[in-house]
Amino acid sequence: MAPADLATAIAADCERLGLSVSSDAIQGLAAYAASLWSWNERLNLTRHVDVEKFVSRDVADAVAIAPHLEAGAHVLDVGTGGGVPGVLLAILRPDLRVELCDSVGKRARAVREIVAEIGLSIPVHEGAAQRLVAAAAAAGENAGEPGRFDVLVVRAVAPLVKLLGWFEPLCESYGRMLVVKGPRWEEEKGDARHRGFVKRVGVRRIAAWPIRGSDNESVLLEVKRREPV
């Protein structure tokens, strides 16, 4: 599909689903989709390889997350995979300072090429996000300035209990974590509570939106350090 036709198709699907996306962002989304799908022929980065799935799942999730990020926030996309939702957030919200991280080196390197191809300046890190979060906070502390990430954004990476196992011990090293989950989120939260992972952090649902083509919905969970009593 030609770039202009791809942008037109994405705009039409956004309008059909009631997603508010600027014309400038539509062009960026089209460039990203074209590059992502080209790379996907060499390396499995996404299952959403048509406009309908790209818009209804990837763009819809990013549009739902974006209002919950403060202006100029320093954001880390944990386990970015093919760049979702981090690249989309950078396109929708140019004010954000977005960085991407993936523990699989070949995925991280592919996404680094994708963001370069579409003209974005987004750092892409290889390795465990936990180490990156801790290092950023330590560097800022040593320099006497805020160095930590304001928000960690997580989608389709791991069950909540595993995420909290990684990041609850680091809850003072970042502002908050926003996690996209499906209809089993309450079960996952209950499991995390049972295993003692919500003593230092609180977990609450702050948004929900329909999963197109099903009766279920996606939710956005906010994980944040509990304030000392």
The per-residue pLDDT for 215 is: 84
Of 103-107, 186-190, 211-215, which gets the smallest average pLDDT? 211-215
Q: Cα–Cα distance between 35 and 54 in angstroms, integer?
A: 13
**How many C-beta atoms lie closer than 10 Å to residue 201's C-beta?**
18
Taking residues 18-25, report their average pLDDT.
96
Phi, psi of 73 (to 5 degrees): -60, 145
Q: Cα–Cα distance between 19 and 13 in angstroms, integer?
A: 8
The per-residue pLDDT for 194 is: 92
Record the pTM.
0.94
Taking residues 65-85, report their average pLDDT.
97
Domain range 3-225, CATH architecture? 3-Layer(aba) Sandwich (3.40)
Using 50, 70 and 90 to split pLDDT, how confident is the model at 142? low
CA dist list (Å): 181 to 15, 47, 133, 140, 170: 24, 18, 22, 31, 21
Taking residues 44-66, report their average pLDDT.
95
Domain range summary for the chain, segments of one domain joined by +: 3-225
